[in-house]
Amino acid sequence: MLLLKPNCECCDVDLPVDSQDARSCSFECTFCKSCAETVFDGTCPNCGGELLRRPIRPAELLARFPASTERFVKDHPECAHLKT
């Protein structure tokens, strides 16, 4: 089941479960729309896979299948300027 990570791995911006701006690859690496498009040009820096809009889990299923609360931030050189 998709983890629904709570943040962008690059800039650490919050990505709520209903965010239209969350992008992920088939390995569930998760980025915001801005980083996915402008920093990584739609390609996951971890696996080389395509970054696509993350599906939204129906609200009525979130209680039974909650999103992850663990934040993931990777040390991508391309993201260094975003972390101040």
Output the tens digit of pLDDT for each of the chain's 84 residues: 899 999 999 999 999 999 999 999 999 999 999 999 999 999 999 999 999 999 999 999 999 999 999 999 988 888 877 765
pLDDT of residue 75: 84
Q: Tell me how far apart the alpha carbons of residues 82 and 84 are, in angstroms, rounded to a whole number.
A: 6
Taking the whole predicted model, whether its pTM rises above 0.85 is answered as yes
Give the residue extent of every domain in the chain: 22-82
Q: Give the Å distances, CA to CA, from 21 to 61, 63, 64, 69.
A: 20, 22, 24, 18
pLDDT of residue 74: 86
